[in-house]
Structure 1
């Protein structure tokens, strides 16, 4: 006769393998094993490249920004579109009114136009513009008077196409004490002529003072010391 304990032992031995208690792995080692497995190149062959991921993040950021802006703008998305259109129209009107920046493209143009006039003629024109409050034109004509006066005194050789910067650098050779004032005058001329900066009375006064000062200054005919 078989005992109860023997019967239980015999029954357990006859259980199928699938019904045996599963083998368990602690949580941390299991996670580390999964990470090692998923880090293999096999699982990342179809991942997007670095550039694609960056573009995806950029478009995601733009989309979120647009969503927030449309939510905050009156009228939602339609209101945001209307604001963008109005801003574009305002920029177009400003561009049409002021013109495109020209300093870079034309700052190498000469001081004089095609009309040959004396220093006295330029001074007369400058004074007339100053009296009328046309300070930009007054500044331009006074700088032309400075350069033409230096040419008439043979401190500069008459040369078509000479820029204000070139005139200042060449004149400084025989008028070294006024080199900085000449460079400042050239910058002022370029700013109002090519940079779109409006002239003012202070600019004109500085050029007027420079013109009258240079007319009384004796040049250094032998050039600067070596």
Structure 2
């Protein structure tokens, strides 16, 4: 929402509803309609019910992140306790999710939207350190958002499932980007990849999905 409109949501834990897949991972999220919206002066929503006007756009970005951190802080703490993951790494997962939030949309992002995401993840008061790199690059399918994550989800450390059939996409990806011997199976946007590698994989995925 922030990237697309410049408005922020002051979410609270009680305003969130989660849907879980049968296998346990999050499959959807809904934010209550009663959640307060914050905007900068001159925004088209100023004066509407449940909309608060703050002094500057920077204040809107900071208030949005501060509310998010407070709303999901307990969840991050529980995941840390149960998984043993470091708290800094978990907060990078949150910031990377923000940075990648418009990359999967069916319609292309704009320069303004990318800039707003950069502003959002780089607010002065935040619990993450490294920032994702977000760029808009040209591709054969139009402008594409490339997000090079600031953190690592550690998925490459999980044991591979035996007997799992590789689908057509995974097979094509492995053929397009053959792994070197002993190379960890990092995600396509992982911080451990180079930015050029992330760009190549992102554009390849867009081309594959378009055909």
Same topology, TM > 0.5: no
Q: From the CA coordinates, give the structure whose radius of gyration is larger.
A: 1
Q: Which has a greater percent of helix?
A: 1
Q: Which has a greater percent of strand?
A: 2
When normalised by structure 1's length, the TM-score is: 0.23
When normalised by structure 2's length, the TM-score is: 0.24
